[in-house]
Chains A and B, each alone.
Chain A
Amino acid sequence: MQETIKIDKAHVEKQIKDWKKRISSLYSTLQDWLKGTKYTLKSGAKVTMYEEPMSLVDIKSTEVDTVDIYRGNRIVLSFKPRGLWVIGTNGRIDIISLKKGYILVDVSNQFKPPHWKLFNGESTNGNEFKKQLFFQLLRNS
């Protein structure tokens, strides 16, 4: 039998906490990948998170971390969480650069370990977000 989930304030707060944890974990992974390279990862200005489910259960807006990847003094890529409650996903992060943008989506189920896939807006088939693909983005930015 399918489990019934009660969407109440406690549940939404749990989802937000999980989302922030997954974002933090992703940034740690990026940091690891960048070790020993000419790129550096720094925290960027936070973005505000306030989505419909939060307003429905009377949760105030919160802030979510972003990161910028530098080559020297220049930002080459930025990771900006776009939203948690995005149809068909378990969260979306926008990757932006001066040349191109990408959409990073967690396709895992709720409260499961993240499974990140990268979309470039021109294709409906995402690619597994692995180290090799990440460095390809850096080279293209």
Chain B
Amino acid sequence: MIFDELGKIYNEIDAIYLQAEAKARAKGFRKKEAEYSRRRELNDHAYFLFMFTRLEDRIREISNNLIDKKNTNLRDWKVRRI
């Protein structure tokens, strides 16, 4: 499933930059450390954005289904016509 695949990729990328950040910190390279920290943050944002759009789609799908179901089950034409 795409969530799992992207989740794995997210973790892989995070691990790469995390190791780079840790190495930079151990050596006292502050700028490099900050750079890799920022890249991890951007990776977080990208993954979050993807997950949130999927959540929005799912909510939209469920609400549309509920509306359709309600419309189908309406018997009173005065209400149904709305």
Contact = CB atoms under 8 A, between A and B. Distances in A.
Contact of B25 (A96, A99, A100, A122): A96
Interface string A107-141: 00000000000000110000000000000000000
A121 B25 contact: no
Contacts, number: 32
A42 B22 CA distance: 16
A96 B14 CA distance: 11
B11 A78 contact: no
B15 A101 contact: yes
Interface centre among A80, A98, A100, A122 (most CB of B within 10 A): A98
B11 A44 contact: no
Interface residues of B, number: 14
A15 interface: no
A45 interface: yes
Contacts of A44: 25
B38 to A, nearest CB: 11
A97 interface: yes
Given A45-B30, A75-B26, A121 B21 contact: no
A121 B26 contact: no
A82 B14 CA distance: 14
Contact of B26 (A74, A82, A99): A74
B6 to A, nearest CB: 14
Contacts of B41: 82
B30 A78 contact: no
A72 B44 CA distance: 33
A100 B15 CA distance: 7
A75 B15 CA distance: 18
Contacts of A74: 26
Given A78-B22, A97-B22, A122-B11, 5 more contacts: A75-B25, A96-B22, A98-B23, A99-B19, A101-B15
19 contacts: A44-B25, A68-B25, A75-B22, A78-B25, A80-B37, A82-B41, A96-B21, A97-B22, A98-B19, A98-B22, A98-B23, A98-B26, A99-B19, A100-B15, A101-B14, A101-B15, A101-B18, A121-B11, A121-B14
